[in-house]
Amino acid sequence: MNTGDKIKSKTASWSFRGDTFKKFDDHINKSVPLYNECRDLYLKISDFFLQDKSRVIDIGSSTGTFLIELINRHKKNDKKFSCEGYDTVKEMIDYSKKKAGKNSKIKFFKKDVTLINFKKSCIVSSFYTLQFIPQNKRQFLINKIYKELNWGGAFFLVEKVRGPDARFQDILNQIYMEYKIDKGYSSSEILSKSKSLKGVLEPFSTKGNLDMLKRAGFKDVISIFKYGPFEGFIAIK
C-alpha cells in the first residue's frame, strides 16, 4: 500500500525501519500540523529548564532534528550539558549521527527507551513517540522519567490525542482527514496510512495523558500547544 511520500506499508504494519529515514522529515512535516512551529516552541521553552552538568534526553529521536537544533540554540550557553537521542531504528540512528557531525555534546543510541535511565536529566522530550509505545508500558516509562528527572526538570510531551467522547473524536478525525487532503495526499494514501497504523499508533485522550502524568507524580502540568488532534504538554518535577 502507498501511504504517501513514496512510503510503502501493509495493514497494521507501519514501521520506521528501512529507508523511511530518507523521507521521514518531509513526511512528518507534511502530515503533522505545525510540526516545525511546535518544535520551535519547545526549543524556546528549553531556555527555562537547561541546567548545568545535566543531560537532555529525547526519546524516539528519529532523524535527530530536535537535539541538533537544541545544541545550536544553546551553543553560546556556559552551562555544561549533553544531549542523548534514543531510537529503536538503526537507520534513524545512523542518519542522526551523520547529521550531527562531530559535535561531542550529542550522542545517539539504538535502544528501546523503556530500558534506559534518565538520571541527571533536566529535560526529557517525547515528540509523537509515546503514542507508539505499547500502552501497558507507558505508565511505567513515565513513572521512571518522573523518578529520575532532576528536581525542577521538565518532561516535554507532544502526542496525537483522541477526543474525550465519540462526537469530539469524530470531529477531530474529519478535520485531520481534510488537513491531509489540503496537504496533497490522495484519499487512497490517507486510507492506507490509517490502515497501516492500526494497532501501531494508539493515542490516549488529553485526560488519559494528564492522568498518566499525575499518577507518575507530576503536579505542575500545562497544555502549551494544541491543533486539532495534536497536543503538547510541559510537566515539571
Ligand X SMILES: C[S@@+](CC[C@H](N)C(=O)[O-])C[C@H]1O[C@@H](n2cnc3c(N)ncnc32)[C@H](O)[C@@H]1O
Give the footprint of ligand X on this chain (CB under 6 A). 16, 28, 60-62, 65-66, 86-89, 92, 112-114, 127-129, 132-133
CB of 29 to ligand X, least distance (A): 9
Look up residue 225 and give its amino acid: F
CB of 174 to ligand X, least distance (A): 22
- Which is nearer to ligand X, 6 or 79 (by Cβ)? 6
- Asked whether 63 and 135 are in contact (CB, 8 A), the reply is no
Burial code (b: 16+ CB inside 10 Å, e: under 16) for 92-117 equals bbebbeebbeeeebbbbeeeebeebe
Residue nearest to ligand X (CB): 60
C-alpha cell belonging to residue 175: 478535520
CB of 67 to ligand X, least distance (A): 10
At residue 34, the 3 state secondary structure works out as: coil
CB of 219 to ligand X, least distance (A): 26
Burial code (b: 16+ CB inside 10 Å, e: under 16) for 157-172 equals bbbbbbbeeeeeeeeb
Look up residue 39 and give its amino acid: R
CB of 151 to ligand X, least distance (A): 25
- Which is nearer to ligand X, 46 or 129 (by Cβ)? 129
- Which is nearer to ligand X, 101 or 134 (by Cβ)? 134
The whole-angstrom separation of Cα 18 and Cα 129 is 18
- Which is nearer to ligand X, 156 or 218 (by Cβ)? 156
- Which is nearer to ligand X, 40 or 220 (by Cβ)? 40
- Which is nearer to ligand X, 138 or 237 (by Cβ)? 138
CB of 199 to ligand X, least distance (A): 14
C-alpha pair distances (Å), 182 with each of 17, 161, 168, 179, 187: 27, 21, 21, 5, 11
C-alpha pair distances (Å), 101 with each of 45, 61, 105: 25, 16, 11
